[in-house]
Amino acid sequence: MSISRVTYRATSDTALRGLQQALTRSQQLQQQLSSGKRVSRPADDPSAVGSAMQLRSDRRADDQYLRNIQDASGRLGVTDTALTEISDRVRRVRDLLVQAGNGGINPEGLAAISSEITSIRGDVVDLYNTRWLDRPVFGGTAPGFMAVDSSGTYVGNDAVIMARISRDATLRIDTSGTAAGAGTLPALLDQIANDVTTNTGAVGSDLTALDGELSKVLQTLGDVGARAARLDTTKNDVQSEQMDFTSRISENEDVDLPATIMNLQASQVAYQSALGAAAKVLQVSLIDFLR
Amino acid sequence: MTGFSALNTAAQGLAAAQRAMDVISQNVANANTPGYSRQRVKLAALGETSGATLFTGAGAPLYGVKVEAITRTRDAFLEAARTAAGNRLAALQSRASALHAAEQLVSEPGENGIQAVIDDFFASWHDLATRPGDTSAGAVVIQRGIAVGDQLRFVAEGLAARFSTMRDTLSSVVTEANEVAKSLADLNGQIRQSTVAGQTANELMDTRDQLVRRLGELVGGVAQASDDGTVSVSVGGLVLVAGVSAQQFDVTGSQELGAALTDPPTISWNGTAVPVDSGQAAGLLAALRTDLPDLNTQLNGVATSLRDVVNGVHTAGFTLSGAPGGDFFSGADADSLTVAVTSPDQLAVASSTGVVDGSNAMQIGDLSDERNATAALGGPGPSERWRDLSTGMGVTVQSLERAINVQDGVVSTADSAVESDAGVNLDEEMTGMLLYQRAYQASARVITTMDEMLDTLVNRTGLIGR
């Protein structure tokens, strides 16, 4: 400073200012350390706050995608179980049909086979009416709780239901009832139960038709399995993306602990020096040296 | 030279030393008085030649000392620089305080801000999409919608409350400025009287400088000194105080944030707007005319874009009972945004009639993705607008805080320049005390010496024959 004249008031003002500055700096660092956050308001670092908001929003979106995935995988799991059960039942019917076609079974035996097939048909209709969260998984978007009614008629539709499983991907989470044989299998089983007792000659063509239905069920099962696998892959992707977001949020706004502690230490030393200087500089005046 | 005139000279020396000690004691007493300027006695030697007298003969000089003036040390340029720096700092600080309050309302980044509420709202639509007929999922959607409206209203009301507080502050700042202007004009009159009467008005001038500074802090006045010792102060080119007369300013314009853009708050004189560019009033005007209305406009943009983007998809869908979807949100701005849907069965979750379908709900949920919202609106969506508001405000506050830091340094430099020039240095005063004490002692010694000389003359001469 080029001004040669110095007054006590100027000196004490300067000392006070230095103390205030050192204390303010310490307080800022202490606040950062105690909150663990480098940015706690937009003005701390506007661009970091912009990315913080974006990253948090993306992470919350991923939370929702994971919830959607969980729902979809539950739904596909139920579908998978139902289709596996149906295929087991169809195989059993096929065995019975082959048995009936071999001949040498008395009418009582054929009647027993027929009634077993009729009861299996009831099981199959129930399985086609499998529900997830009160909606039939083979029913598409049709209203009501049934995909197949008690007479064996398909009452669902084949509308596609999609779920958002990641930012860019959707996945079909329902299963077409028609493709899975819901429209044809119950009627065929009715016919087979009938043919076993009344029209043994039709067993051959029934067998062919049954094989056709079985392959429909198995094909749908394969499709469901493939979708479940895709769901798993996407789930892993979304989870790792979420971890990435979390670590980027932390990098973006959390304090660098060692650096902040060092800075705090330095600012406290500065504050102590300022205190020391203030105490010394105002101690003496000419009065102390005059008689 | 005569012994009698030396006595007189010494007496003047005593008086001068006494006056000097008076001034020193005044300086010491006011060493810490704010705005006090140190004073100095200005001494002048007398050396007039007198006429002839019986004892001196012709042309003998008349010695002595006189106190010519008691002067006040204050540099007008330094003072003007300090005032200008202080005015600018006051403007920055009052503007920053308005934005700090707004920044607290925003409460970003965090898990409780508007961003989080909007995200949760869209997420609830995805939940509904997987359970289209579930009334509890529908109720959650409605509640989350209400929460978004509440949060936006909270911020909007906070901004409005801040606006009216600052509007009141502006009125009281201008009222105080008017009072200060009046006092300044009165003081100008007293100073002029003293100056004309040849008296010193140093203390009055110090008080006046303080008032000029205060006026500058309030409305950013610029002072100009006249020859008769008075100052005139002009604000934005308009003379507020001239000599002994003072003008009065008014505040006009909206009391409500909503009308601030059409009827901005203004400081005026006789119906003419005064362009106040520094001082607290300037900062308040910037906040009231620009910052707060802009934030409010941006906030309304968040609310209306959310309303439009959600309603656009919602009205295109159908409820599960087959009715076409109505508006989900209603309201014209952030303050009035509410959910128009009252029960979950009015939610348009399906894309077509007669089916149990959640695809329309999924489309609304998908709006959380910036790209979908932008495509639907043909412009930025609610989340993006909210982020722009938050970061834009952050940038403004940050630059204001930096400017305040810089300006604070400028003010303290200007302050110490003024203080170095006009402040009291106790060491200096002690030295002065020594100086005048010795001078007083010496003058007294002169009188003693003269007395002894006269004693010799009066009592010891002419003793012959006694």
SS3 state at B227: coil
> Cβ A141–B420 below 8 Å, yes or no?
no
Neighbours of B343 (CB within 10 A): 10
> Cβ A7–B424 below 8 Å, yes or no?
yes
Interior angle at CA A188, CA A184 and CA A190, nearest 5: 125
pLDDT at A190 over 70: yes
**Residues facing residue B233 across a β-bridge:** B223, B241
Task: Using a CB–CB cutoff of 8 Å, tell me whether A74 touches chain B.
Answer: no
> Cβ A53–B120 below 8 Å, yes or no?
no
pLDDT, mean of residues B77-82: 90
> Cβ B391–A49 below 8 Å, yes or no?
yes
Residue A234 inside a domain? The answer is no
Type and span of the H or E element at B64: strand B61-72
Closest CB from B134, B391, B427 relative to A286: B427
How many structural domains are present in chain A? 1
pLDDT, mean of residues A121-133: 93
Task: Identify the CA nearest to A249 among candidates B116, B386, B395, B109.
Answer: B109
Give the type of residue at A161.
Answer: I
Nearest CA in chain A to B113: A53
CA distance B445 to chain A (A): 22
**Residue A280: its pLDDT value, please?**
80
pLDDT at B464 over 80: no
The band of B3, judged by pLDDT with boundaries at 50, 70 and 90, is low
Task: Using a CB–CB cutoff of 8 Å, tell me whether A109 touches chain B.
Answer: no
Closest CB from A8, A13, A143 relative to B356: A143
Closest CB from A141, A164, A167 relative to B362: A164
Cα distance between residue B372 and residue B383, in whole Å: 12
Cα distance between residue B414 and residue B409, in whole Å: 9
pLDDT, mean of residues B90-109: 90
pLDDT, mean of residues B398-409: 94
pLDDT at A48 over 60: yes
Q: What is the pLDDT of residues B21-40, one digit of tens each?
A: 999 999 999 988 888 999 99
CA distance B170 to chain A (A): 25
Q: Which residue segment(s) compose the domain that A149 sits in?
A: 64-228
> Cβ B391–A42 below 8 Å, yes or no?
yes
> Cβ B419–A253 below 8 Å, yes or no?
no
Mutate to test the interface with A, among B30, B75, B391, B413 (most CBs of A within 10 A): B391
Neighbours of B456 (CB within 10 A): 10
Higher pLDDT, A283 or B9: B9
Type and span of the H or E element at B339: strand B338-339
CA distance A25 to chain B (A): 13
pLDDT at B391 over 80: yes
**Residue B2: its pLDDT value, please?**
54
Interior angle at CA B119, CA B113 and CA B122, nearest 5: 145
Cα distance between residue B65 and residue B296, in whole Å: 73
Neighbours of B440 (CB within 10 A): 18
C-alpha B435, offset from chain centre: 44
Cα distance between residue B56 and residue B61, in whole Å: 9
Task: Using a CB–CB cutoff of 8 Å, tell me whether A46 touches chain B.
Answer: yes
Show the tokens assigned to B205: 């001038």
**Cα within 13 Å of Cα(B217), Cβ side:** 13
**B122 neighbourhood in chain A, CB within 8 Å:** 64
**Residue B193: its pLDDT value, please?**
92
Peptide bond into B109 cis (omega under 30): yes
Which ipTM did the prediction report? 0.85
CATH of the domain at A114: 1.20.1330.10
- Cβ-count burial of A138 within 10 angstroms (0-12 exposed, 13-18 middle, 19+ buried)? buried
CA distance A235 to chain B (A): 16
Judged by phi (left if over 0) then psi (alpha if -120 to 50, else beta), residue B462 lies in left
Task: Using a CB–CB cutoff of 8 Å, tell me whether A161 touches chain B.
Answer: yes
> Cβ A290–B419 below 8 Å, yes or no?
no
Place of tokens 């002839």: B52
pLDDT at B381 over 50: yes
Mutate to test the interface with A, among B313, B419, B429 (most CBs of A within 10 A): B419
**B359 neighbourhood in chain A, CB within 8 Å:** 161-162
> Cβ B426–A8 below 8 Å, yes or no?
yes
> Cβ A64–B368 below 8 Å, yes or no?
yes
pLDDT, mean of residues B373-382: 93
CA distance A3 to chain B (A): 7
**Residue B356: its pLDDT value, please?**
86
The band of A6, judged by pLDDT with boundaries at 50, 70 and 90, is confident
pLDDT at A3 over 90: no
Q: What is the pLDDT of residues A210-221, one digit of tens each?
A: 999 999 999 999
**Residues facing residue B324 across a β-bridge:** B318
Residue A50 inside a domain? The answer is no
The band of A1, judged by pLDDT with boundaries at 50, 70 and 90, is very low
C-beta separation of B200 from B26 below 8 A: no
**Residue B301: its pLDDT value, please?**
96
Rounded percentage of chain B residues whose pLDDT exceeds 90? 69
**Residue B427: its pLDDT value, please?**
87
Q: What is the pLDDT of residues A49-82, one digit of tens each?
A: 999 999 999 999 999 999 999 999 999 999 999 9
Q: What is the pLDDT of residues B36-48, one digit of tens each?
A: 999 999 999 987 7
**Residue A285: its pLDDT value, please?**
75
For B163-220, the DSSP string reads: HHHHHHHHHHHHHHHHHHHHHHHHHHHHHHHHHHTT---HHHHHHHHHHHHHHHHHH-
Count of CB pairs separated by less than 8 Å, A with B: 165
Q: What is the pLDDT of residues B115-140, one digit of tens each?
A: 999 999 999 999 999 888 889 999 99
> Cβ A286–B391 below 8 Å, yes or no?
no
**B427 neighbourhood in chain A, CB within 8 Å:** 285-286
Name the pairing type of β-strands A131-132 and B231-235: unpaired
Mean of per-residue pLDDT scores for chain A? 90
> Cβ A286–B398 below 8 Å, yes or no?
no
Cα distance between residue A181 and residue A186, in whole Å: 8
Which of these ranges, A97-106, A181-190, B177-186, B393-402, has the smallest mean pLDDT?
A: A97-106
Mutate to test the interface with A, among B106, B130, B360, B427 (most CBs of A within 10 A): B130
Nearest CA in chain A to B124: A64
Residue A195 inside a domain? The answer is yes
Task: Using a CB–CB cutoff of 8 Å, tell me whether A169 touches chain B.
Answer: no
**Residue B1: its pLDDT value, please?**
47
Task: Using a CB–CB cutoff of 8 Å, tell me whether B217 touches chain A.
Answer: no
C-beta separation of B85 from B407 below 8 A: yes
Cα distance between residue B13 and residue B59, in whole Å: 23
pLDDT, mean of residues A137-166: 90
> Cβ B420–A7 below 8 Å, yes or no?
yes
Rounded percentage of chain A residues whose pLDDT exceeds 90? 62
Give the type of residue at B397.
Answer: V
Which of these ranges, A3-7, A45-49, A211-215, has the smallest mean pLDDT?
A: A3-7
> Cβ A3–B420 below 8 Å, yes or no?
yes
> Which distant-in-sequence residues (6+ apart) come within 8 Å of A84 by Cβ?
A221
| 3-state helix/strand/coil string of chain A | CCCCCCCHHHHHHHHHHHHHHHHHHHHHHHHHHHHCECCCCHHHCHHHHHHHHHHHHHHHHHHHHHHHHHHHHHHHHHHHHHHHHHHHHHHHHHHHHHHHHCCCCCHHHHHHHHHHHHHHHHHHHHHHCCEECCEECCCCCCCCCCCECCCCCECCCCCCCEEECCCCCEEECCCCCCCCCCCCHHHHHHHHHHHHHHCHHHHHHHHHHHHHHHHHHHHHHHHHHHHHHHHHHHHHHHHHHHHHHHHHHHHHHECCHHHHHHHHHHHHHHHHHHHHHHHHHCCCCHHHHCC
**Residue B34: its pLDDT value, please?**
87
> Cβ A14–B416 below 8 Å, yes or no?
yes
C-beta separation of B377 from B309 below 8 A: yes
C-beta separation of B439 from B13 below 8 A: yes
Give the type of residue at B82.
Answer: R
The band of A282, judged by pLDDT with boundaries at 50, 70 and 90, is low
Task: Identify the CA nearest to B331 among candidates B356, B307, B364.
Answer: B307
Closest CB from B123, B387, B430 relative to A60: B123
pLDDT at A17 over 80: yes
Cα distance between residue B151 and residue B149, in whole Å: 6
Torsion over CA: B47, B52, B57, B59 (sign): positive
Question: Which letter does DSSP use for residue B354 in this model?
Answer: T
The domain spans of chain B are 3-73+433-460, 80-414
Task: Identify the CA nearest to B281 among candidates B357, B364, B193, B178.
Answer: B178
Interior angle at CA A88, CA A84 and CA A92, nearest 5: 170
> Cβ B356–A164 below 8 Å, yes or no?
no
> Cβ A61–B415 below 8 Å, yes or no?
no
The band of A103, judged by pLDDT with boundaries at 50, 70 and 90, is confident
Backbone angles phi, psi at B57, to 5 degrees: 80, -175
Task: Using a CB–CB cutoff of 8 Å, tell me whether A143 touches chain B.
Answer: yes
pLDDT at B398 over 80: yes
**Residue A11: its pLDDT value, please?**
82
What letters, b where the CB count within 10 A reaches 16 and e where it falls short, cover B313-340? bbeebbbbeeeebebbbebebbbebebe
> Cβ A44–B434 below 8 Å, yes or no?
no
Residue A276 inside a domain? The answer is no
